[in-house]
Amino acid sequence: MTDQLYQEIILDHYKNPHGRGLREPFAGEAHHVNPTCGDEITIRVTPDLSDISYDGVGCSISQASASVMHELLTGRTPEQVRVIEEAFVALMQGRGQVEPDEDVLGDGVAFAGVARYPARVKCALLPWMAFKDAAARAGALAESGDRQTAGTSKGANS
């Protein structure tokens, strides 16, 4: 894909976000802030990952990343979520040197260009880090046998 196509995908997710709007019921919630640029995001998840909702304010990169994350992770198994999340984090931390796997990341490959700009990597990762915290609170990423004992507090994180 070309950088221009990547930019178009990011702008499309920013202008037409998927999953935006906090919904209930939920079992885990996390609020994260990027103090460097002022981005904020709140993520809510259900224990079975059948719904991942969010609301936030910030740059096109953070908000588009939340939309892509919702699209990629909603309805997946914990193992699928781990694979996708690890691939996205590796892409973002690769400083433009990691070749993205479109089969795993879908529209997430559009963030390959962002990885070349360390100041913007935090923007792209913000919703993903909030998701990990919200999912942990919901017990959504616990092994299937551990899920019944996982906590379900609805805390906020800044």
With H, G, I as helix, E, B as strand and everything else as coil, classify residue 145.
coil
For residue 64, which of 126, 7, 11, 132 has the smallest C-alpha distance?
11
pLDDT score, position 150: 38
pLDDT at 36 over 50: yes
pLDDT value of residue 96: 87
pLDDT surpassing 80 at residue 49 = yes
β pairing state of 39-45 and 52-57? antiparallel
User: Confidence band (pLDDT; 50, 70, 90) for 143?
Assistant: low
- The structure's pTM equals 0.88
pLDDT digits (tens, 9 = 90+) for 65-77: 999 999 999 999 9
Q: Which domains does the chain have, with CATH numbers?
A: 3-20+29-142 (3.90.1010.10)
| Other Cβ atoms closer than 10 A to 25 | 8
**pLDDT tops 80 at residue 111:** yes
Model pLDDT, residue 100? 94
Q: How confident is the model at residue 145 (pLDDT cuts 50, 70, 90)?
A: very low
Q: What is the pLDDT of residue 1?
A: 54
